[in-house]
Structure 1
Amino acid sequence: MPKKSIRRKRRQARRGRRRQQTPRAAESERTAADRAQFLAGVEAFARALIRERGTAADDDEDDWDEDEHDEDEDEEPPQDFEPEAHRTILAAIRRIVTTHTPQPAYDTVPHLTQRERDPRYNVCPGDGVLIAEMVAVSMLLDLRYNVRADPAPAIHWITERLGAEHGRRALRVADLLDHPDAPPWQSIHPPQPGEEPLLPAMVLLLAGIGGAATHRQPLPPN
């Protein structure tokens, strides 16, 4: 009898372990599927932005100038604009969190528009903001899936420290962090020419994450 009791307990323990592992595996699959769905939506959004701004590359070989190509071979290759966009976003986040003013989020657009004119980058007009938006989306998705950042305190921090209007703008893109009250990302359409880009709202949301974290854990005095 004791041996049967021991075997029965071992079988029950194994079944219990299997039951505990199944939800985690299912959650991992759901997370991967959710991430893939969002990335597909982001890719579609980027393509729509490119179509709207007319910056797609022209692949017509009939317009290729051989002499001009030979002259350009000795020139240095253009620099990647993404690091510039990343630095601009991080600088805006720091200023927002430390000064509690929303203006740095909106200053990113004219700053990037000016920086994209630098011939070292060879960026088409309007693409600087587009690249920065893709960088911001990548940062938000990283916070969602890898850091598991809670968007509710971020929106609360923005609303309380920066104002309700800025909180509403950040909430518009907060589905990237899985905020339950945010509109679905798939319902957000690329801004038309003359409309405000989504970049300021994304920067506000990123600053809200940083501001909420700083509020919970105050920085030590210098």
Structure 2
Amino acid sequence: AILDQAKKQEQKKNDQEALNLYTEAAELYMEARIVNPVPMRSKLTTKEKEILKKNSCINGKKYLPWNEIDLKEIFTYDKPFLYRSKFGAWKRPSLIMNRPRMITMISSTTIRQDIVSDCSFVASLCVSAAYERKHKKQLITRCIFPQNEVGQPKYNPSGKYVIQLICNGIARKDGILMCTFSSNKDELWPSIIEKA
């Protein structure tokens, strides 16, 4: 109900009220997750894996089960020139940034919305960043891979990043064109999270 109210306020261009309602919805969600955590098992049976793979299609989009081996792959794309008319060229962060890093500092104030971005998503991203920073709970940083030895997302010179999503009780992966970005010119996390 609160989320619906926030969307209505956003449609009416009442941005501050919409942001307040999105923030309230996010806080209620986080409280509910603490009270009713979803238990995660480390091993699934073969039958469970088959069922989950068969049911990986939601609203016409595939959400394949998480696979640790994916983190070791170098990113390749089978249609490398699909967006060239909009972007000019695909480049690794190391070619356009002085010192690329996944996260400089989690902050809601560094996120910049692209013209094609979803405002409610960007608002949610801002709320999540502010929550993580204030409460020291990994909402954003725990789902970005690869990670360093202390569980923090790290820059991958090979270009392969994976966002771990939880769907039907297990970790999943996805891949979508990036749009949101950070005002910290060498920081990647808003784009990587929005990509998921």
Please give the range of the TM-score, normalised by the shorter of the 2 chains.
under 0.3
TM-score scaled by length of structure 1? 0.23
Q: Which has the higher helix share?
A: 1
TM-score scaled by length of structure 2? 0.25
Q: Which has the higher strand share?
A: 2
Q: Quick check: which has more Rg, 1 or 2?
A: 1
